[in-house]
Amino acid sequence: MSQTDTKTIPVWDIFIRVFHWTLVLGVSTAAVSGFLLRPTWISLHVWAGTSAAVLLLARLLWGIWGSKNARFAGFIKGPREVIKHLKELRAGTAARHLGHNPLGALMIVALLGTVFLLLLTGATALGGVFKTGPLGFLFSYDLGTTILRVHYVLAIILVLLVTLHILGAVFEGMRTKENLVKAMITGKKEARESDHDLPEVSSRPLWVTLVFGATLALLVWGGIWFSAKPPFGVPTGPMNPTYAEECSACHIAYAPSLLPAKNWGTLMSQLDNHFGEDASLDQKSVDEITTWLFANAADSVDTKPAHVFSRTNPTYPVAITETPFWKNTHRTIPDAVFTRAPIYDNGNCNACHKDAESGAFYPANISIPKETPQ
Amino acid sequence: MKFKLIIATTAVALVGAVVAANTQRDAILSGYAAQAGVSGFSADAGRQLFMSQNTGGKPATPSCSTCHTSDPRNVGHTRVGKVIQPMAVSRNPERFTDPAKVEKWFGRNCRSVLGRECTPTEKGNFITYMMSL
């Protein structure tokens, strides 16, 4: 053992390294799309989260049956060990841990735990607020918005934890005079005499692959099955034929969930001056349409549009485009965009929201069309 | 043989539909002529009504051409971007064949554009103009 050239030993196996850097990619994509990009990027955000969920599942299994430095049972230490490590750090006597040191192990648990909670709250918020994904059948809008705030706080916590994790790696690298980023790429560290190492175990990659494949298949199947269930608090009945015939002769068939019943009543009693035009109808059709609108109005629907448009503008109680939410969410779009072909008017929701007539208004379905010659 | 039969049947059906539509349209026109007490209508007067700019109706719709464009053979669009099929009968043979629909839209659009009901003479002239294009 008295060789002059340094001997390197494998520390991080290929799984751990690939997991680490793909999780970096997934979390970065989720963070950028969640914090910085417009809501129309929600699909990218959801896919980044879904990828992180798959990675996390694999990491949990590798933490049980993986190599010695990957196993939770090996590197997670109790408070006594952590305090001992801290004291040795202060005294300058702490020896190097080839794998995670007791303090670093705490960080791994915190990072993985926070990512796990982000996935749970993300899927819950997606279900409650947008009535989509595997939990769309289960949760109310009110619960969804509350959980969305928790999701946001957790995301900030994760950013802080990642920052601390990087600072910790820089500190430990300087203390032990090694490049820890490089070690997470090559997987190798220089062997030293006083190193703390863990007892050898044999990893079970085939078994982990089998359990991972089975669990993933079950989760995907369950996800598809639950996603297909009718969304919570959203009527799925057909559109009234008289409403479709009469009202969509001039404009899109606005979803009845976009206004409260009271406001629909006001609108239906003023058809002779309907947004500056005469849209009079025979009384029988008016009664039939009003009854159907009342039964499917915002008051009885749990979608996000039904909730946000229920705060109407007292000056224009029948105009969705005059509600505070509409004005706020469309404030960055120049007026000229709304008047150009093929949009013509801000009441033509369908021109940009491909799912407007369903009343869903999912952000990923927004696409502002290019101007067309009139 | 079978193919020829299908072609012949389709042709007969098409001609039949057009004849039926023309019959229905003529009946609507005769109705307006009877109401107005006139024997015929003027396509030119219909054109003038279609193109006229008015101030009596709703400010957003001063003219028929606001939504139907200045050529009734064109596809138009409502103020909120919904496509309106051409008014000219040559481009849209279904036009002016359902009396209830004709009355509904004359009622609404005359009040929106002119601020009053149209007279039977105006309605007859309008339809005659749409048949002349």
In degrees to the nearest 10, what's the CA dihedral of A75, A81, A83, A89?
A: -70
- Chain A residues with CB under 8 Å of a chain B CB are 248-252, 272-273, 275-281, 342-345, 347-348, 351
B81 vs A278: CB contact, 8 Å cut-off? no
In chain A, what percentage of residues exceed pLDDT 90?
A: 92
B58 vs A344: CB contact, 8 Å cut-off? no
- How confident is the model over A325-341, as pLDDT tens digits? 999 999 999 999 999 98
Phi and psi of A196, rounded to 5°?
-85, 125
Rounded Cα distance between A343 and A313, Å, is: 23
Confidence of residue B1 (pLDDT cuts 50, 70, 90): low
Structure tokens at A51: 């990828």
Q: Name the superfamily (CATH) of residues A8-227.
A: Transmembrane di-heme cytochromes, Chain C (1.20.950.20)
Q: By CB neighbour count within 10 A (0-12 exposed, 13-18 middle, 19+ buried), where does B56 fall?
A: exposed
- Domain tally, chain B: 1
Q: Would you call B79 an interface residue with chain A, using a CB distance cutoff of 8 Å?
A: yes
Indicate whether B16 pLDDT > 80: no
Instruction: Please choose, from the candidates A131, A154, A216, the residue with its C-alpha nearest in 3D space to the C-alpha of residue A27.
Output: A154
Segment B26-38 mean pLDDT: 95
Cβ-Cβ contacts under 8 Å, A276 against chain B? 58-61, 79
- How confident is the model over B57-109, as pLDDT tens digits? 999 999 999 999 999 999 999 999 999 999 999 999 999 999 999 999 999 99
- Output the average pLDDT for chain B: 92
A72 forms bridges with which residues in the sheet?
A: none
Q: Specify the CATH number for the domain of residue B120.
A: 1.10.760.10
Q: What is the pLDDT of residue B4?
A: 77
Helix (H, G, I), strand (E, B) or coil at B83: strand
Indicate whether A299 pLDDT > 90: yes
Instruction: Please choose, from the candidates A199, A133, A124, the residue with its C-alpha nearest in 3D space to the C-alpha of residue A154.
Output: A124
Segment A343-365 mean pLDDT: 96
Sequence-distant (6+) residues with CB within 8 A of A291 are none
- How confident is the model over A37-76, as pLDDT tens digits? 999 999 999 999 999 999 999 999 999 999 999 999 999 9
Q: Would you call B54 an interface residue with chain A, using a CB distance cutoff of 8 Å?
A: no
Sequence-distant (6+) residues with CB within 8 A of A147 are A121, A124, A125, A128, A139
- How confident is the model over A127-183, as pLDDT tens digits? 999 999 999 999 999 999 999 999 999 999 999 999 999 999 999 999 999 999 999
- How confident is the model over A238-260, as pLDDT tens digits? 999 999 999 999 999 999 999 99
Helix (H, G, I), strand (E, B) or coil at A109: helix
Q: Where are the domains of chain A?
A: 8-227, 241-365
- How confident is the model over A309-321, as pLDDT tens digits? 999 999 999 999 9
A273 vs B61: CB contact, 8 Å cut-off? no
In degrees to the nearest 10, what's the CA dihedral of A23, A25, A27, A31?
A: 180
Sequence-distant (6+) residues with CB within 8 A of A174 are none
Sequence-distant (6+) residues with CB within 8 A of A203 are A13, A62, A65, A66, A67, A70
